[in-house]
Chain A
């Protein structure tokens, strides 16, 4: 089945630094990937939709200059948290859809990245 690889699985960084999270579709092509953020004991909140070869679409309230998304190929999207602060500490999850899959079967999620900013 479709596999989405997300790296790193966890990262600790100092306040003010930037962190890049990668999301790769291993055995399928994804024209669209989604980035979610999840705080403890809360549900997943969609941050942005990443479109291959074009600008990402951000949800209301998500700062596009702080959360940089690049989707340069059909198998890779990256999320960079710039100038991270402790309040950015969260669980970040990506999701990708097989461009050729029908129905819902194409939505596959990565295993998530736990970011801790100290």
Chain B
């Protein structure tokens, strides 16, 4: 799996959009970008994933640059419950490929 780089920590005001960047400059053409988050002392939760087009679901939006070397996860209206560690992972999308977690970004939502 390609390596990803994320900021160690970020703060965001409640109600504002939280933008979490991820660099994956060595991503391969068949590798997807996945985002998971882990709230304290719980198992990770899937958020969103994409290949090269921007994606949106009920939780977040994923913006992938045209060269696919970086992406941004956007939480449109952050709430206190969004405080968590967010992991950006790149991997191929077939079979039972394992998920390899990096260090992630600790996002703190400020009241």
Report the bound CA distance from A31 to B95 in whole Å: 11
A89 an interface residue at 8 Å Cβ cutoff?
no
Shortest beta-carbon distance from A85 to chain B in Å = 22
A44 and B101 contact, Cβ closer than 8 Å, known pairs A93-B43, A110-B43: yes
Tally of chain B residues near chain A (CB < 8 A): 20
Instruction: Report how many A-B pairs have Cβ atoms within 8 Å.
Output: 50
Contacts of A36 in B (CB 8 A): 101
Please tell me if the beta carbons of B98 and A34 are within 8 angstroms of each other in the complex: yes
A77 an interface residue at 8 Å Cβ cutoff?
no
B30-48: which residues lie under 8 A (CB-CB) from chain A? 32, 34, 38, 41-46
A91 an interface residue at 8 Å Cβ cutoff?
yes
* Contact of B43 (CB < 8 Å), options: A6, A49, A103: A6
Tally of chain A residues near chain B (CB < 8 A): 25
Contacts of B96 in A (CB 8 A): 31-32, 49, 97
Chain A interface, >50% SS class: strand
A80 an interface residue at 8 Å Cβ cutoff?
no
For A30, give the chain B residue with the smallest CB separation.
B96
Chain B contact residues, CB within 8 Å of chain A: 32, 34, 38, 41-46, 49, 87, 93, 96, 98-104
